[in-house]
Amino acid sequence: MRRRFILRIRELLQLINHHIPFAKAEDWDNVGLLIGDKDKDITGILTTLDCTLEVVKEAAEKNCNTIIAHHPLIFSGIKRIENTGYGAVMHALIKNDINLIAMHTNLDAYNHGVSAMIADKIGMTNQQILLPGQQEMAKLQVFVPEAHADALKSALSEAGVGQIGDYSDCFFQLEGKGQFKPNEQANPFTGKRNKLEIVDELKLECVFQPERQAAVEEAVHAAHPYEEPAYDIYRYKVKDTFGTGIKGELEGSVVLKDWLPELKAKLGISTLKLIGDIEKEVRTIGIISGAGVSYGQDVKHHDIDLFLTGDIKYHEAHDLLMMGLTTADIEHYSENVMKEGLKELLESFTDELSIQASTVSTDPFTAI
């Protein structure tokens, strides 16, 4: 058996952030390390939907000093921590020296996140982001003598440009001629003062994340031979690989009155409420895990037969009827599938961790 390496919390956070950036979380959310020590070695990880006292006890019994929960235990500023309610959970975590990490709306936005985990559970194929987000990108256009192009490319790559999906060192170049006339104060790399100079140059184009702009400009000035390099940077938006929800298809069409009991069983939920015609035949499904009814109008325009989400209120249900969007309320607790889903996801990122899915039910409701 291959020896398992020991990772620290800091390294785990970096691993998660590489694949499912914490920056993709909503502004109101609270993700990342909520309680713990970044320099602690990880003895084991327990995945859970909610961090409760029972889950903390389970983690301690299983020698898992790290819990990764979907729902954050801490949402807003805390003025005191008493040993009651949520405070009791925090006390238990600290007493048992257990780290707590939250992966909430960043995991929701991931194309293999919670909505996709629900889709996998019910056998959906041809999955894609239901409501894709937009990502801001930056593009550099720089002109450089051909003999210095490779050195500049190398410096720019080290600064983080040219990363497109699974590809690195992505550049476009075009041959051309540049001209300039140095004045009396100039110290030209090539040419003479007060004389027009025409040189063979390449135009390089490459993309980068906007937050890297300072490093990119520094690389241009450091690696470019000219005293005053000529370059432009502009911003634009592209379709993101992150977004809201998942859209996909069942292997064949189903009639809701026959299929919904099967859906309920697969998701392990105690209640399911349909808004629309129970005799309807469906195949294309849109899913927004948790409470996604506020996206109803957007979902309506994406050509789906059935919308799955949770926490639908009475008047919201009437709104869905009015817009003709057949919807099934699958409870917020349907997100419970993420326990196994996140375990498998993390295992696909690395085999250097011992990961278990919690067996504790955190469903606050009892169906009668």
Annotated binding-site residues read 70-71, 108, 332, 335
Query: Mean of the pLDDT values across residues 219-232?
Result: 92
Q: For the chain, report the end-to-end CA distance as a whole number of angstroms.
A: 49
Q: Where in the chain is the domain with CATH 3.40.1390.30?
A: 9-104+337-357, 109-132+243-333
Q: Check residues 178 and 9 and name the one with the higher pLDDT.
A: 9
In sequence order, the 6+-apart residues with CB closer than 8 A to the CB of 169 are 153, 157, 162
Query: Mean of the pLDDT values across residues 65-84?
Result: 92
As a whole-number percent, the residues of the chain with pLDDT over 90 amount to 84
Backbone angles phi, psi at 238, to 5 degrees: -130, 165
pLDDT grade, residue 5 (50/70/90)?
low
The answer to whether the CB of 194 falls within 8 A of the CB of 124 is: no
Q: CA of 64: how far to CAs of 45, 59, 60, 70, 184, in Å?
A: 5, 5, 6, 17, 70
> Which of 259, 240, 241, 237 minimizes the C-alpha distance to 250?
259
DSSP state of 231: E
Average pLDDT of the residues of the chain: 94
Would you state the pLDDT for residue 242? 94
Instruction: Round to whole Å and give the CA distance between 117 and 122.
Output: 9
Q: What's the topology of domain 9-104+337-357?
A: 3.40.1390
Would you state the pLDDT for residue 13? 98
Q: Where in the chain is the domain with CATH 3.30.70.120?
A: 134-240
Would you state the pLDDT for residue 2? 44
The model's pLDDT over 155-166, given as tens digits with 9 standing for 90+, comes to: 999 999 998 877
Residue 140 has pLDDT above 90, yes or no: yes
pLDDT grade, residue 4 (50/70/90)?
low
pLDDT grade, residue 362 (50/70/90)?
very high
Would you state the pLDDT for residue 181? 83
The answer to whether the CB of 176 falls within 8 A of the CB of 202 is: yes
The model's pLDDT over 319-358, given as tens digits with 9 standing for 90+, comes to: 999 999 999 999 999 999 999 999 999 999 998 899 999 9
The model's pLDDT over 12-39, given as tens digits with 9 standing for 90+, comes to: 999 999 999 999 999 999 999 999 999 9
Which pTM does this prediction carry? Answer: 0.83
Would you state the pLDDT for residue 227? 84
Q: Check residues 274 and 197 and name the one with the higher pLDDT.
A: 274
For the structural domain made of 134-240, what CATH number should be given?
3.30.70.120
Does 3.90.550.10 match the CATH number of domain 109-132+243-333? no
Residue 278, classed as helix, strand or coil, is: coil
Would you state the pLDDT for residue 1? 39
Residue 189 has pLDDT above 90, yes or no: no
Annotated binding-site residues for a divalent metal cation read 70-71, 108, 332, 335
Instruction: Round to whole Å and give the CA distance between 268 and 335.
Output: 10
